[in-house]
Amino acid sequence: MNRLARWARAEWGLVYVTVRGPLVERRLRAVPMTLSAVALTAAVQIVQNQSWGYGFVQDVGGVRAEDPLRLALLRTPLSLFVPALDLPVWGALLQVLFVFGIAEICLGRLRTLVIAYTATLAGTLYARLGIRLGFDSLFGLPSSDARVVDTGPSAAVVGLAVFLGWRYGAYVTAGAVAAAMAVEVGLKGNLAGKEHLAAIAAVAALIALSSLHRHHRQSRANAAPGPPPPPVGTPPPEPHPRRSPG
């Protein structure tokens, strides 16, 4: 048990410390964006289950690979908050509350939104590429998937989990998430599973860019010139004489 506790502390300790302070001090006020996302997801779920609301939700947030690209790109941001009809909505709400909440505190609102949208957009664009490649290709999809409604927060959640794992040293967790998505593709090979892998690939690119930027910034800081050393044999400067009081 002690070994497991030590591993958990090493894996998630930094995330726990980072999240605990703001939550204890500000409680739910620490995650306003996350609460808004949960409320929006719940509201969209209620609306799309009404006879008058399903068509409206699909018009503003439903994405299919057969849609014109410009229309799909306009709908992609809201599609993140449209729960899949064939999955329980509480699963989507818990994903958003837990992962988005941690990300909002650890990464900040803007970075969280950028990563979430990048992961979702990667899945949207992959679906079109996969259908062009065809079902016979390793990374391809059957043409029937072009008509599948592609919505939900899962790609964003997977991307944020991987980025958080890298950023806070929870490498086992990040690897486990990626491995689980690969197993999903191996077992099902469906559109959602392959989109999750596309989301992970997009986040991996963001991680690489972030690492390069950090390395470049560190190199510039190390290479910054300091004051030149005095010539050999130069006596040290004399201290300024102190003034006597009065």
Give Cβ neighbours of residue 125 (< 8 Å, ≥ 6 apart).
Answer: 198
Q: Provide DSSP, 46-85.
A: HHHTSTTTHHHHHHHH---TTS-HHHHHHHHHHHTTS--T
Residue 241 falls inside a structural domain: no
pLDDT for residue 226:
55
CATH code: domain of residue 161: 1.20.1540.10
H-helix or E-strand spanning residue 45: helix 32-48
pLDDT at 219 over 80: no
pLDDT for residue 137:
82
Residue 217 falls inside a structural domain: no
Domain housing 27 = 2-209
At 181, which amino acid appears? M
**Alpha-helical regions (H) of 188-245:** 191-223
Residue 201 falls inside a structural domain: yes
**Predicted confidence band of residue 136 (pLDDT cuts 50, 70, 90):** confident
pLDDT at 246 over 50: no
pLDDT at 241 over 80: no
Residue 198 falls inside a structural domain: yes
How far apart are alpha carbons 177 and 174 in whole angstroms?
A: 5
Choice between 237 and 99, residue whose per-residue pLDDT is larger: 99
Q: Which of 23-37, 59-73, 156-170, 221-235 has the lowest mean pLDDT?
A: 221-235
> Nearest CA to 154 among 187, 108, 123?
123
pLDDT for residue 112:
95
**Predicted confidence band of residue 235 (pLDDT cuts 50, 70, 90):** low
**Predicted confidence band of residue 163 (pLDDT cuts 50, 70, 90):** very high
- Which pTM does this prediction carry? 0.84
Q: Which of 8-12, 59-63, 102-106 has the lowest mean pLDDT?
A: 8-12
pLDDT for residue 229:
58
Do the Cβ atoms of 237 and 165 come closer than 8 Å? no
- Looking at residues 204-209, what average pLDDT do you find? 92
Number of domain units in the chain? 1
Which single residue is written with the structure tokens 């958990």? Answer: 8
Residue 227 falls inside a structural domain: no
**Predicted confidence band of residue 131 (pLDDT cuts 50, 70, 90):** very high
